[in-house]
Amino acid sequence: MTEEAMQKSAPGGDWRPAFATFAALAFVLVAYPAIRMAIPYLNLFPAAGGREWWWVLWSSIFVGHWICVAICAAAISSEKGRWVSIGFDWKLFIRGRYVFILVVILAVVVAYYAPAYFYDDTLPEQMRSHPLGPVSSAERMFWIAMAVTAGVAEEIMYRGYAITRLRRLFNLPVAILLPAISFALMHGPSAFIPQFLGLYIFSALLFTAAFLFLGSRRLEWIILLHITIDLAIIAAP
């Protein structure tokens, strides 16, 4: 990714927002967090006991995240831009594919053996480290995909796309605070628990600071940091 390519693709100069720009910002910053907050009240979870609810919850989030990425991609296309305009280059993941494959294999091994190490033969009703975290081996393996999804999708949504576009439409404080608040609320009802809300806001500002420090041009490294943080849950009791 050359500096010249960055300048040509960046939302600046004669860049003009398209209708899709406002639609994407509205969905990512307002509609999606609202949906996530409403999920527990939509009676989507199975009434039966056990952990069925866990799969419904995280599968819906998995799909929702990629829908948001698709909406952002459509907006970028409507603006006649490229992924580089949000500081993202997919080629990094292609070049490092063998490292990523190795990390995934190690993560699968950890996910498979962690429950036996922590719980012996009796799985708890919920994870001790996080009330919505994975418990069984199968859940922890799915969490690997969920960690990658969250790292890629949330950084594209709330840093790469939202911040670069809002910085052209409003001032910098708005471009920082609005995505941070939306990022926190996107985590659902747990965002109303003080300690979790503080954690989400802190995380959002941390990722945003890193994004701005890197000149809004290296979203890939923030994605990798995000994935690493979420992936650590599979090795927790």
CB proximity list for 68: less than 8 A, separation 6 or greater: 27, 28, 32, 153, 156, 157
Helix axes 219-231, 137-155, angle to 10 degrees: 160
Note whether residue 105 is domain-resident.
yes
Q: Which amino acid is at 105?
A: I
Note whether residue 178 is domain-resident.
yes
Note whether residue 4 is domain-resident.
no
| pLDDT exceeds cutoff 70 at 202 | yes
Note whether residue 65 is domain-resident.
yes
Note whether residue 10 is domain-resident.
no
Note whether residue 114 is domain-resident.
yes
Provide Rg for the chain, Cα atoms. Answer: 19
17 and 165 Cβ atoms separated by less than 8 Å: yes
Q: With CA atoms as reference, report the closest residue to 175 among 159, 186, 187, 191.
A: 159
Q: With CA atoms as reference, report the closest residue to 16 among 96, 75, 101.
A: 75
* Alpha carbon distance 62, 153 (integer Å): 9
pTM (two decimals):
0.87
The per-residue pLDDT for range 171-197, each reduced to its tens digit, is 889 999 999 999 998 988 777 777 777
CB proximity list for 190: less than 8 A, separation 6 or greater: 131, 132, 196
Which DSSP category does 85 fall into? G
When pLDDT is averaged across residues 90-102 and rounded to a whole number, the result is 86
pLDDT for residue 46 = 57
Note whether residue 9 is domain-resident.
no
The parent domain of residue 186 ranges over: 19-42+52-82+91-235
Note whether residue 11 is domain-resident.
no
The per-residue pLDDT for range 68-93, each reduced to its tens digit, is 999 999 999 999 888 888 988 888 88
Total domains, the chain: 1
CA distances from 220 to 89, 132, 197, 213, 225 (A): 7, 27, 25, 13, 9
* Alpha carbon distance 75, 98 (integer Å): 31
Report CA dihedral (22, 146, 92, 229) to the nearest 10 degrees.
100
Q: Report CA torsion sign: 119, 123, 124, 127.
A: positive
